[in-house]
Amino acid sequence: MSNAQDKNHIDHYRRKLLGGSAALAGAAALGPGVFFTSVARAKPDAEPASSEVRWGFLIDTNKCADNCDKCVTACNDEFNLTGFGRPETDAQWIRTVTLRDKKTGHTTKLPLMCQHCAHPPCVDVCPTGASFKRPDGIVLVDKHTCIGCRYCMIACPYKARSFVHETIENQKEYGPRGKGTVESCTLCVHRVDKGEIPACAEACPEKAILFGNMNDANSEIAQRMASTTSTEIRGDLRLDLGVRYQGI
Amino acid sequence: MKDKRSTRQGYWFAAIVFALFSFEVAAGVPVPDIPKAVKGEQCVEEIGFMRRNHMELLLHQRDDTLHKGIRTKKHSLKNCFTCHIVTDADNQPVTVKDPRHFCRGCHDYAAVQIDCFQCHTSVPGDRKTTEARP
């Protein structure tokens, strides 16, 4: 195995070098100062996730329509999150929350999912290391090591995680789910690795959910974050969130 | 001379016992009928290696995929039952609930429980959701 790993490392460095020169060539072809930017570059299958990338959402709550739950439905369809008629314990990876200003009566609606913290409390408390953060900022549960203790559910300030109480069938091939483990929004990591955008962002008719690489100054998300006011929910916890909101 | 005879008798005894046992094995527990790969002639590794070490490859692959995002398909669980797909009378792939499923053939024979499919799907592609969300 170690030989194979060494070879993988060499391949990785070669690929990085080749990728770098290809990117240079691409930039040159488009002309000085003109860069071709895509929302998410398709990562080659063999390439590991890079810490130079920070995936995230910028959600414009002003665009979020009152009676719309298309992002929630899209997420449920994407992962076959079928309910058992028990709303208190049914899996919920994304939900809509309505905030009401007590003084003015003004209401704001927003979709809330795992905030993909840079310093995730769920990772801090996990006794088995099942709750972890990928180098590109996506917080996931390794269900192979999850013992279902649910400490992470208690630690999460956003109530973003669900526990699977029932035997699950008809899982999607990219979304394994099983009884006795905790799960949450994966930022559609299976799509992101292919260069696609998450299901909720794709489904939003108002394009209120903007997905992108927050670390890339040329990306739409970084540029909008730089030009307009956006806030973190419970920013006082200083968790450095991967999901930011406009209009709250 | 006497020693030699008893040794010969011992050989005969051993041979008869062996014959009896091999007959028992042949008659009692049938060797699993392993579904052949539908596409391709050669497995991702040499067959003997795969029989002994497939679980190590799967373990390595699962950590690489989940933690690092390396999504090569060669040693993936999905690849096993995609190549060695078993279809039923309606030409639908059988799930792990069916004893004909590729993984179950050997695992039932060796009495080794597979935990993979408590979470993972056991058939390639997506099936339609049978129950609607209430």
pLDDT in tens, B20-65: 555 555 567 788 888 888 877 789 999 999 999 999 999 999 999 9
CA-based max dimension of chain A: 66
pLDDT at A12 over 60: no
| C-alpha to C-alpha distance for A164 and A153, rounded to whole angstroms | 12
Residue B47 sits in the same domain as residue B113: yes
Residue B95 sits in the same domain as residue B37: yes
Query: Residue B86 in contact with residue B35, Cβ under 8 Å?
Result: yes
Nearest CB to B69 within list A48, A82, A181:
A48
Among A43-52, A179-188, B9-18, which range has the highest average pLDDT?
A179-188
Residue B79 sits in the same domain as residue B112: yes
- Does residue B93 form part of some domain? yes
A43 half-sphere exposure, CB direction, 13 A CA radius: 22
Residue B61 sits in the same domain as residue B87: yes
Residue B14 sits in the same domain as residue B66: no
Q: What is the mean pLDDT of residues B98-114?
A: 93
Residue B5 sits in the same domain as residue B56: no
pLDDT tens, residue by residue, A45-89: 999 999 999 999 999 999 999 899 999 999 999 999 988 999 899
Asked whether the CA dihedral A149, A154, A157, A161 is positive or negative, the reply is: positive
pLDDT at res. B131: 41
Residue B105 sits in the same domain as residue B71: yes
Task: Select the more confidently predicted residue: B3 or A20.
Answer: B3
Nearest CA in chain B to A134: B67
Query: Residue A209 in contact with residue A63, Cβ under 8 Å?
Result: no
- Does residue B97 form part of some domain? yes
Q: What is the mean pLDDT of chain B?
A: 82
Interface test with B, best of A41, A45, A168 (most B CBs within 10 A): A45
DSSP assignment of A9-39 equals HHHHHHHHHHHHHHHHHHHHHH-TT-----S
Query: Residue A122 in contact with residue A101, Cβ under 8 Å?
Result: no
% of chain B surpassing 90 pLDDT: 56
- Does residue B12 form part of some domain? yes
User: How far is CA B17 from each of CA A4, A9, A175, B5, B24, rounded to the nearest angstrom?
Assistant: 46, 55, 53, 18, 10
Residue B15 sits in the same domain as residue B57: no
Residue B17 sits in the same domain as residue B40: no
Are A170 and B129 inside 8 Å of each other by CB?
Answer: yes
Residue B86 sits in the same domain as residue B101: yes
Residue B53 sits in the same domain as residue B112: yes
Are B119 and A176 inside 8 Å of each other by CB?
Answer: yes
Which residue shows structure tokens 């895509």?
A38
| C-alpha to C-alpha distance for A138 and B126, rounded to whole angstroms | 24
| C-alpha to C-alpha distance for B60 and B84, rounded to whole angstroms | 21
Which residue shows structure tokens 């049938």?
B30
- Does residue B21 form part of some domain? yes
| C-alpha to C-alpha distance for B21 and B27, rounded to whole angstroms | 10
| C-alpha to C-alpha distance for A214 and A47, rounded to whole angstroms | 20
Give the pairing of strands A94-100 and A107-113.
antiparallel
ipTM of the complex, rounded to two decimals: 0.78
Residue B116: which residues within 8 A CB-CB, separation 6 or more? B58, B77, B103, B122
Domain range for B97 is: 31-118
Residue B85 sits in the same domain as residue B96: yes
Instruction: Give how many domains chain B has, as a whole number.
Output: 2
Residue A91: which residues within 8 A CB-CB, separation 6 or more? A81, A83, A162, A164, A177, A183
DSSP B67: I
Are A1 and B60 inside 8 Å of each other by CB?
Answer: yes
pLDDT at B1 over 60: no
| Nearest chain A CA: its distance from B45 CA (Å) | 14
pLDDT at A14 over 90: no
Q: Write down the architecture of domain A55-246 according to CATH.
A: 2-Layer Sandwich (3.30)
The dihedral region occupied by A196, where left means phi > 0, alpha psi between -120 and 50, and beta the remainder, is beta
pTM over 0.80: no
Are B118 and A179 inside 8 Å of each other by CB?
Answer: yes
Q: What is the mean pLDDT of residues A205-222?
A: 96
Residue A89 contacts B, CB cutoff 8 Å: no
